[in-house]
Structure 1
Amino acid sequence: MPPTGDPLARRYRRLLLCHPRDYRRARADEMVGVLLDAAPPGRTRPTVREAANLIRHGLRCRLGRPASRTVGVWATLAAVICGLFTAALATRAAWETSPPQPGRAETAGVFAAVLPGHDLGDVDPAPALFTFYSQPLTVRSLENVLLGDGGEYQRSSVVAVAAGTPRMPAGETLALARRRLHETGWQVYEPLSDSTPSCPEKTCATPVTSIGTTLLARRGDTVLELHVTSPPPVDGSHLSLALSRTTPPAVLPAGIAGGLLGAGIGWLVFGWASRRTEAAHPARGAVGVLFAITLFLWWTPVLLTVPPLLRHHLDEPHPTWHPLWEWLGQPAASLLFVVGAATALLGLALAAAPRRGPDPLPTTG
């Protein structure tokens, strides 16, 4: 047995804790002895390469595949995506701590303070914190969410529109609003403009280009979005103001806690299924295929959504970022998530089937 008083031997044994207990009982002394024999005189610490190899091999053993070079990668992918999904679920629950959406009185007060001299028209209240096609999400609408309309599930806002004809040109209205926002304590962001061709007459003989300008501001837990259109549209309002709430403080810690919990559970479940199907299992191939399908269905929306959404955030001001689930392509790609969950459950069920012959020696610590 290698001397336990040797500091290098003690450090090697600490690294071997990554291996299952039974594996350490059977091979730890031999492994430490080989490592000490290969170490040059005077060394007191394992090299970075040795440490990495021992940790990597230990994780492979705990996953039931000590000879596999990729099992750690697959386990990490499974753990990360499970952590992301549970984090998104936790953040959605934490959004319920948000204050109620602004009411009619608060909206009218902000409108009067930001746009003095403008007449307030209709005020459209927010029916819920998040809405699907401007209505609260219901069980009946889940079918439409799954069949491709999930992107319509969005944060809601209370919208007020100006009544009558424009009191001043669009540029003067924006200048007035920016000045009043600064004076009343709002943090104002740079305005964004886009142009849209429209046809004021049925024949569309003389198309007109409408320029829409959006001004964003934030004060406390409230976000303001002012939209001005020039020239005024024939069938709509030239001026609208929307108020919504910022991300509640509870969302970040809830997301971190939910993500860590989900990643840990994902790693453990993957390890269990991997050890179950290590050898002499009738469904080993099927479980591997189902696992690959699950990862493909879960990771594809994430990889397709993150780059454009990141560019969107970098190109435009955002007083509050999009919710985490939108970064995961949800619920726009909720059908892929549901199918992936079904293949994952089927794979776990097959992994739980009895093995052929006697069970292999346990490999867990």
Structure 2
Amino acid sequence: MPGTNTSAARPFGRRLLRRLGRPSRGAAVVWVPLAALVCGLFTGALASRAAWETSRAQPDRAEASAILTMAFPGHDLGEIDTPPALFVVYGHALRLGTVKTLVFGDGGEYQESATGAAAFGAPPVPAEQIVAVARDRLTGAGWRVYDPRVAEGISCADKMCATPLPITDTTLTARRGDTILNASVSSQTAVDATYLAVELHRAPPPLVVPAGVFGTLLGAVAGWWVFGWASRRTAGRRRGGAVSVLLGVAVVLWWLPVLLAVPSLLRHHLGESHPAWHPFWEWLGQPAASLLFLVGAVCALLALGLAAGARRNQTPEAPVG
């Protein structure tokens, strides 16, 4: 009968959720939710990176030349450099040879690329005039121009710096559509130095946010089920202690970069104009802390392997009332 089938299905559903989702007692009550949440964050970051592939390529020389000529008339910006890929490490596309660079200390160099150009020597007009003209021309062309940031410094006329010269460095940021412009204008007068540097790059494509949210939810649910299962399968058994220690170490190694990166990036965003947020994975301290992530992943896999190999007849856990 329909009623009988429904009532029978409910206890089965509760048993299934209890087995898969609910962690056992003790330390697992703490590390299982933390592991599930950070797994969700990592999955969301991976999904957002995949969504970045829907972005348009970085501006080519023709597009960049049109923008630079419009915004900075009369300035010889020389050769326009175009990047080899959407994301680069030290200006090069990611490949097997650069994986070592990411893992051992330089993971922070994995960044979105940009099309760039620069002008050298003393500025032909005051730096303030270059910035004012660029703001007016960009605004007139439909760009949203953010308030420039000015930093003061000192330049030296000779190697001994007997005559220190005050200089200013002004950063100008603007956005139109999915294109972001970052320009640095210096008042320095050295012949071999850069007085104007401009970079053009793409804003995150629209799919990045929904992909990140969906990936986070999916990863958190999967992590809750998997780690909850591991904690219940080994609770009260010989391998329970080893599983708890391994997963506890993994949780610490995964969360530590997050706790360090989030406050730093928040201060950075609040202190400067940002037409777009930094990529999801940078908020998790990745790939700058990719070595910690990999060590934590090895610990988690070892713990899950121990849980999967635990025998049912080994000191079963006390029944839950």
Residues 19 and 61, structure 1, Cα contact 8 Å, conserved in 2: no
Could you tell me which residue of structure 2 aligns to residue 156 of structure 1? 113
Q: Distance in 1 between matches of 2:310 and 2:147?
A: 63
Distance 1:287-1:321 versus aligned 2 partners, 3 A rule: same
Q: Which residue in 1 is equivalent to 2:286?
A: 330
Alignment RMSD, CA only? 2.6
Q: CA deviation at 1:256?
A: 1.2
**What is the deviation of 1:363?**
8.2
SS in 1 for 2:100: helix
Instruction: Confirm whether residue 258 of structure 1 aligns to residue 252 of structure 2.
Output: no
Q: Which residue of 1 aligns with 2:15?
A: 21
Structure 1, residues 133-174: CA drift from partner, whole Å, max 9, x if none?
Answer: 111111111111111100111111111223664221001111
Listed one character per residue, the Cα deviations across residues 231-283 of structure 1 (whole Å, up to 9, x for unaligned) are 2344322112111000100101111111111111100111110111112x221
Letter in 2 for 1:287: V
* In structure 1, C-alpha distance between the alignment counterparts of 2:163 and 2:18, rounded to whole Å: 70
Percent identical: 52
For residue 202 of structure 1, what is the aligned residue in structure 2?
A: 159
Give the corresponding residue for 2:144. Answer: 187
CA 1:249–1:124: 2 relative to 1, 3 Å: same
Structure 1 position 135 matched with structure 2 position 129: no
Alpha-carbon spacing, 1:113–1:276, altered in 2? closer, same or farther (3 Å): same
Q: Which amino acid aligns with 2:15?
A: R
Change (3 A) 1:273 1:219: same
Which consecutive residues of structure 1, in runs of 5 or more, have no partner in the other structure?
1-12, 23-57
Query: Which whole-Å CA distance do the structure 2 matches of 1:351 and 1:80 have between them?
Result: 20
Structure 1 residue 96 corresponds to structure 2 residue 53: yes
| Structure-2 change in CA distance of 1:185 and 1:314 (3 Å) | same
Map of 1:230 onto structure 2: 187
Q: Could you say if the C-alpha distance between residues 294 and 18 of structure 1 is closer, same or farther in structure 2, counting changes exceeding 3 Å?
A: farther
SS in 1 for 2:75: coil
Larger Rg: 1
TM-score normalised to structure 1 length: 0.79
Match status 1:300 vs 2:294: no
2:198 and 2:30 map into 1 onto residues whose CA distance is 49
Structure 1 residue runs of 4 or more that deviate by more than 6 Å after TM superposition: 16-19, 58-61, 361-364
Return the offset for 1:212: 0.9
How far, CA to CA, are the matches of 2:276 and 2:224 in structure 1?
32
Aligned length: 312
Classify the secondary structure of the residue corresponding to 1:318: coil
> Counterpart amino acid of 1:273?
A
Instruction: Confirm or deny: 8 A CA contact 1:185 1:219 kept in the other structure.
Output: yes
* Distance in structure 2 (CA, Å) of the matches to 1:60 and 1:348: 15
Give 3-state SS (helix, strand or coil) of 2:129's partner: helix
CA-to-aligned-CA distance 1:70-113 (integer Å, 9 cap, x gap): 64432221111000000000111110100011011111111111
8 Å CA contact 2:58–2:83 kept in 1: the answer is: yes
